[in-house]
Amino acid sequence: MSFTNFDLNVKLTKSVAALGYQQPTPIQSEAIPVVLEGRDVIGLAQTGTGKTAAFLLPVLHKILSSETRGVPQALVIAPTRELVDQIFQSAKDLSKYTDIKMMTMFGGAPMPAQLRHLKRGVDIIIACPGRLLDHIQRKTLDPSTLHTLILDEADHMFDMGFLPVIREINSHLPTERQTLLFTATMPKEIRRFTEELTSNPLTIRVGRDSGLAKTVSHNMYSVGDGQKKGLLLEVVNKIGKGSAIVFTRTKRRAKGLDEFLKASGAEVTSLQGNLSQSKRRDAIDGFRTGKYKVLVATDIAARGIDVSRVSHVVNFDMPDTVEAYTHRTGRTGRADSLGDAVSFATATDRQIIGRIKAQLSLTFTELPMPGGLPKAPSSQKRPDEQKGPRRGKRPVRGGQRNQSRGRRNYRGSRRSSAREAV
C-alpha cells in the first residue's frame, strides 16, 4: 500500500512524497481511511509509529475540501508545549503546498500574538488545555465552527490532572463533531471518560497491547541510591555514537544531573519545567541535531520529544506508573531501530517493578554492576526480591503515596503538573 491509495488531496500526497514517506505505517494504514469516513477513533499504538500523520493527513484533507476557510475547523489538544510544537511542525510539513493556516496556543507565550493570529484567521489550532480554556472563557476564541477534535497523548493528559479542564473545554464544543484520541496506552479509568467525548468510536490497536516496542531491550541494575551517579556516568560513556534520554522524578534532580554530567565532560542538556520556552526549544533542538548526546528530563517535559536516533533510555529514577514506563521506553527503538531501556532500581522500587512485570508481561535482564563502583550495603536485596512492608507499617518511600496522587489526577485534584505543562 502507498499513500496514493487513500485518495488524499494531491497537495498532501506531494508533501508526503517530499518528506520521503513511501509506505504508510500500520497505524496510518488502519486509521486514515476510517478518519476520512468521519468516524470517531481511538488509536492505540506505541510511540514512534506515525500517530501524528495518522490524524493530521485526513484532517488536512477535510479542510482542503471545505468551502469555509479562515475559521477554526480542527482542534488538536496535547499535554505539553513541546508536544504542541512537535505537532505544529508536522502539520506545517504536511501542508507545505497548501494555504492552510494554523497556530499554537500554550502558556508562557504572549497572549497578544495569539490574538493577532486568531484575528487574521486560522483553520487549525494546536493547543495545551490551560491556555485554550483561557481563550474560550475570554471569548477570544469561538469554537462553534469546529468539526474535528483530536486529543494526542490522551492518557498522559488525563494523568497530569487535565480531566476537569478537558471536561470544561468539551462543554463549549459542538456536539456534532468528529473526535479522535491517539495514545500509546489507555488505562481503564481513562477509557470510561472517553465515552463522554466520543460517539460509537472504532478502536484501532497496532502492536502489542502493552504498547512496548519489540525493538527495545529492557535491562535493570539493582543499585543503592549512592551508586546511581557513578553508574550513570558508566552508561553514558558507553553509548558510543548513540544518544540517551535520562529520566528523573523531579526538576531539581534533572538540573543536578545535568550539572554533574557537564562537570564530567559529557555533552548534555536538561529539560524541565523551570526553563523558559526558548531554552526548552534550544535543548530539544540541540539534542535532535546531535549537539548534545544526553538529555536529562522529567516525564512531563519529555512528552514532546520525537528523535528517531535515541539509542538509550535510562530510568535514573523509576517511574510511578506502568503507563509512564511505557511512554519513557517508547522514546527509543523507533522506526524499527534497536533501543536499550536501562533502569536503575533500588529496593524501594519493588512495587512498581512488580506492576511493570505483571501488567506488561515483561522480564527484565539483570545486568552486573561495573567494577570500581561503590558497593551497595550487603543487606540490600534485589528490588524484585524484597518483601512487602510489615502489617501496620507504611512504605518508606513514596511508592504508594505517589500512586494515590496518580489516582487523584483522574478526579482533577492535582494541579501542579498541569501548571507546569501549560
Kindly list the domain boundaries of the chain, sorted by start residue: 3-206, 216-388
In Å, what is the CA distance from 319 to each residue of 109, 197, 399, 404?
30, 28, 9, 14
- The 10s digit of each residue's pLDDT in 12-23 is 999 999 999 989
For 59, what's the count of Cα atoms within 13 Å in the CB-facing half-sphere? 34
Stretch 337-345: mean pLDDT, rounded? 93
55-64, 85-94, 343-352, 410-419: which has the minimum mean pLDDT? 410-419
Q: Do 3-206 and 216-388 have matching folds? A: yes
Is residue 419's pLDDT more than 50?
no
What is the crossing angle of helices 51-64 and 81-94, to 10°? 50
- The 10s digit of each residue's pLDDT in 254-278 is 999 999 999 999 999 998 767 777 8
Per-residue pLDDT at 381: 53
DSSP string, 16-64: HHHTT--S--HHHHHHHHHHHHT--EEEEE-TTSSHHHHHHHHHHHHHH
Per-residue pLDDT at 49: 78
Is 304:86 a contact under the CB 8 Å cutoff? yes
Mean pLDDT of the chain: 85
Domain 3-206 sits in which CATH superfamily?
P-loop containing nucleotide triphosphate hydrolases (3.40.50.300)
CATH number attached to the domain at 216-388: 3.40.50.300
- The 10s digit of each residue's pLDDT in 364-405 is 999 999 877 766 554 455 565 544 444 444 444 444 444 334
Q: What are phi and psi of 379, to 5 degrees?
A: -80, -10
Q: What percent of the chain has pLDDT over 70?
A: 84
Is residue 105's pLDDT more than 50?
yes
Per-residue pLDDT at 321: 86
Local structure of residue 392 (DSSP, 8 states): T
Per-residue pLDDT at 265: 93
Is 103:70 a contact under the CB 8 Å cutoff? no
Is 136:174 a contact under the CB 8 Å cutoff? no
DSSP string, 116-135: HHHHH--SEEEE-HHHHHHH
- CB neighbours (10 Å) of residue 149? 22
- The 10s digit of each residue's pLDDT in 129-180 is 999 999 999 999 999 999 999 999 887 787 677 889 999 999 999 999 999 9
Local structure of residue 292 (DSSP, 8 states): -
Per-residue pLDDT at 281: 81
Stretch 2-8: mean pLDDT, rounded? 93
